[in-house]
């Protein structure tokens, strides 16, 4: 694993830990340098272990890390938090109330993750260690974490997961969006696609896009991509894709189409978006979450 570090905004460092072995998406964490350093989306245990030394390369004593904030507890964002709390005795872990218990007692989380990442997920992602309860800070929607030079506001943003949060940063005017604003590949840099792994809530996802876009961030820090400033274009494009997917799937379900046909119809639309480029693996996973959501809703 090669780790690449880039200063993407003032005192804001992107740490790219390379592509994951399953979805082949970049795994990106962010380090905010301040009187109280903050690490956002540290990733799985394997990734977290790999990125820690790079925090030191930036002149930060890792033992001084004050906050670890996974945007949500899926293993590729928060699976390594338990490992980090075992090695670092200071940082508080900021979590959505619906995510807190699952990191304190990760058995169910791991069971669910095996369905997505396969049974040997510990071999690739490392073990998922529990986070001691006294280290967890359960956040409220709109809560502000004050650092010397910036305020971080926690924004609940369900859809991809019920326990998803985004983080708004007053210093850079940026937003750390986790998986709430889609994923983007370099082959289709202007079309974000929803991260719709089941259980996915397609309607909550669109509401969260609107909620985050209304904050008018001037930069989006993506968890599986990089920092982007074309905020309006990217969020409205994503919204449009989400709405179209919903319409296609609901129309197909109402017409009584069988599952395979529905997928076919959605794939046609998605292929037209990708215009000949190879479809990322996450797209298929995303479609299944969408179809499941609209089927269950009926
Ligand atoms: Zn996720």
Please state which architecture CATH assigns to domain 4-239.
4-Layer Sandwich (3.60)
Q: What's the 231 CA to ligand 1 centre distance in angstroms?
A: 21
For the record, the structure tokens of 221 come out as 């820090």
pLDDT at 20: 84
Q: What's the 234 CA to ligand 1 centre distance in angstroms?
A: 19
State how far the Cα of 157 lies from the Cα of 96, in Å rounded to an integer: 10
Q: What's the 69 CA to ligand 1 centre distance in angstroms?
A: 14
State how far the Cα of 23 lies from the Cα of 194, in Å rounded to an integer: 14
For residue 124, pLDDT beyond 90: no
Q: Over the chain, what is the mean pLDDT?
A: 94
* Across 195-205, average pLDDT: 93
Could you report the per-residue pLDDT of 72-98, keeping only the tens digit for each? 999 999 999 999 999 999 999 999 999
Query: 249: closest CA among 190, 212, 200?
Result: 200
For the record, the structure tokens of 97 come out as 């109330």
Q: What's the 180 CA to ligand 1 centre distance in angstroms?
A: 9
* Across 51-60, average pLDDT: 87
Q: What's the 124 CA to ligand 1 centre distance in angstroms?
A: 17
Q: What's the 148 CA to ligand 1 centre distance in angstroms?
A: 30
User: Domain locations in the chain?
Assistant: 4-239
176-208 in b/e form (b: 16+ CB < 10 A) is bbbbbbbbbbeebeebbbbbbbeebbbebbbeb
Q: What's the 21 CA to ligand 1 centre distance in angstroms?
A: 15
Q: List C-alpha distances in Å: 224 to 8, 133, 165.
A: 15, 28, 16
Q: What's the 65 CA to ligand 1 centre distance in angstroms?
A: 24
For residue 261, pLDDT beyond 90: yes
State how far the Cα of 168 lies from the Cα of 143, in Å rounded to an integer: 10
pLDDT at 298: 74
Query: 265: closest CA among 247, 292, 243?
Result: 247
Kindly report the pTM of this predicted structure.
0.96
């Amino acid at each position: 694993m090669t780790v690449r570090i880039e200063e993407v905004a003032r005192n804001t460092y992107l740490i790219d830990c390379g592509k994951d072995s399953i979805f082949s998406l970049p795994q990106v964490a962010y380090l905010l340098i301040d009187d109280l350093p903050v690490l956002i989306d540290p990733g799985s245990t394997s990734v977290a272990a790999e990125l820690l030394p790079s925090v030191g390369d930036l002149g930060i004593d890792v033992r001084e890390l004050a906050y670890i904030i996974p945007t949500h507890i899926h293993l590729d964002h928060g699976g390594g938090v338990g490992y980090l709390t075992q090695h670092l005795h200071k940082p508080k872990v900021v979590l959505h109330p619906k995510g807190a218990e699952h990191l304190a007692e990760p058995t169910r989380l791991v069971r669910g993750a095996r369905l997505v990442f396969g049974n040997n997920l510990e071999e690739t992602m490392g073990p998922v260690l529990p986070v001691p309860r006294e280290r967890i800070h359960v956040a409220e929607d709109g809560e502000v974490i004050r650092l010397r030079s910036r305020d971080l506001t926690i924004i609940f943003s369900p859809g991809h997961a019920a326990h998803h949060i985004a983080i708004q940063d007053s210093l850079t005017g940026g937003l750390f969006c986790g998986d709430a604003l889609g994923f983007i590949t370099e082959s289709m840099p202007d079309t974000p696609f929803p991260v719709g792994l089941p259980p996915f809530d397609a309607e909550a996802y669109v509401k969260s896009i609107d909620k985050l876009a209304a904050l008018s961030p001037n930069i989006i820090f993506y968890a599986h991509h990089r920092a982007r400033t074309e905020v309006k274009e990217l969020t409205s494009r994503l919204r449009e894709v989400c709405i179209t997917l919903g319409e296609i799937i609901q129309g197909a379900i109402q017409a009584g189409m069988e599952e395979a046909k529905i997928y076919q119809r959605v794939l046609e639309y998605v292929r037209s978006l990708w215009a000949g480029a190879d479809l990322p693996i996450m797209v298929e996973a995303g479609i299944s979450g969408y179809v499941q959501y609209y089927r269950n809703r009926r």
